[in-house]
């Protein structure tokens, strides 16, 4: 007997000096800040654990649910793999200004240095101002010696790959790949549960006191994977009312699911399912409980809910599970 239901969480809002107002004005996050950079939708990062916003479990946090419901929440194979650690972090990010050039360690290095998961991630662009860019990878074959030479000569941007982006563009960023979100981009981010970032260049910016942010080049160099292929652009189909495969990796699977009408779903994954609404509005009906999510909202379907219905007129969802 499944005592769980479709779970919504209160967003955890974070001001960033590079943030803007799209999260509040477009995605209706409750903030008056003009520097709102991130909305963490589902998180168990220490000090930033998501709290349930709906139903009988309202006010309880995700870590409590993991401890209490275990495999009913995340699936048996995930519970055997992760125990009561939730493996994913879901965010919306608004970059009014360019973020720093950065990368993240993989599981092995992150475990050794930070007792953390590594960070492989993906981005889905929800909106982009004209001529906005993302930086992903290098624009040529790269090795450690060449990279360090450009870093020392302050010519790093000459070897980085800049991609002009539009709504619907999507990217897969493996741990060890250099990247940055450019100013003017609003996106959804799916990542491993990790808050470890190695910043390698910050555009020579300084704060009001003339102080620059810390760089991590001494430890970042060990995290680079210079032999990664340039397969970061995600090509995906957009067939309505079916799951269109975007990313399938050891850390998560993400599908693109446009909903127009009524779609019967069956959870055959032995996993939780996360739905991120990137356009429109959709009703999620699990028979005992119904909930609605709109653009900029996220819902967690516990593993024990095996049958449910999605109802909408032209909503666009990202469907995520492990």
Q: What is the pLDDT of residue 288?
A: 87
- Based on its alpha-carbon atoms, the radius of gyration of the chain, rounded to whole angstroms, reads 20
Q: Which residues pair with 121 in a beta bridge?
A: 173, 191
Q: Going from the N-terminus, what domains does the chain have, and what CATH number goes with each?
A: 12-220 (2.60.120.10), 244-321 (2.60.120.10)
Distances (CA, A) of 224 to 5, 104, 221: 41, 8, 6
Q: What is the pLDDT of residue 287?
A: 84
Contact 198, 103 (CB under 8 A): yes
- Regions in the chain scoring below 50 on pLDDT: none
| Segment 29-42, tens digit of pLDDT | 999 999 999 999 99
- 3-state SS, residue 218: helix
What contacts 227, CB < 8 A, 6 or more positions away? none
Q: What is the pLDDT of residue 208?
A: 75
Q: What is the pLDDT of residue 207?
A: 80
Q: What is the pLDDT of residue 151?
A: 97
What contacts 53, CB < 8 A, 6 or more positions away? 8, 9, 10
Q: What is the pLDDT of residue 106?
A: 98
Q: What is the pLDDT of residue 119?
A: 98
């Amino acid at each position: 007997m499944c005592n769980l239901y479709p779970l919504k969480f209160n967003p955890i809002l974070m001001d960033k000096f590079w943030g803007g107002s799209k999260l509040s004005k477009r995605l209706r996050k409750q903030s008056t800040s003009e520097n709102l950079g991130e909305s963490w939708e589902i998180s168990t990062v220490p000090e930033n654990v998501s709290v349930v916003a709906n139903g009988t479990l309202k006010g309880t946090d995700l870590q409590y649910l993991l401890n209490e419901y275990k495999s009913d929440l995340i699936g048996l194979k995930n519970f055997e793999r992760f125990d009561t650690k939730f493996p994913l972090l879901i965010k919306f990010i608004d970059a009014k200004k360019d973020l720093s050039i950065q990368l993240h360690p993989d599981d092995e290095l992150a475990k050794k240095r930070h007792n953390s998961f590594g960070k492989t991630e993906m981005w889905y662009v929800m909106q982009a101002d004209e001529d906005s860019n993302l930086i992903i990878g290098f624009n040529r074959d790269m090795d450690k010696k060449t990279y360090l030479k450009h870093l020392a000569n302050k010519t790093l941007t000459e070897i980085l790959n800049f991609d002009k982006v539009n709504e619907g563009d999507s990217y897969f960023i493996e741990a060890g790949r250099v990247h940055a979100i450019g100013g003017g981009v609003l996106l959804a981010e799916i990542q491993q549960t990790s808050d470890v970032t190695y910043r390698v260049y910050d555009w020579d910016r300084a704060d009001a006191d003339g102080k620059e942010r810390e760089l991590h080049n001494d430890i970042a160099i060990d995290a680079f994977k210079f032999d990664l292929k340039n397969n970061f652009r995600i090509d995906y189909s957009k067939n309505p009312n079916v799951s269109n495969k975007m990313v399938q990796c050891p850390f998560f699977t993400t599908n693109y699911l446009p909903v127009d009408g009524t779609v019967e779903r069956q959870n055959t994954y032995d996993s939780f399912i996360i739905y991120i609404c990137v356009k429109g509005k959709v009703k999620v009906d699990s028979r005992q409980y119904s909930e609605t999510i709109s653009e900029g909202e996220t819902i967690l379907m516990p593993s024990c809910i095996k049958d449910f219905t999605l109802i909408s007129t032209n909503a666009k969802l990202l469907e995520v599970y492990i």
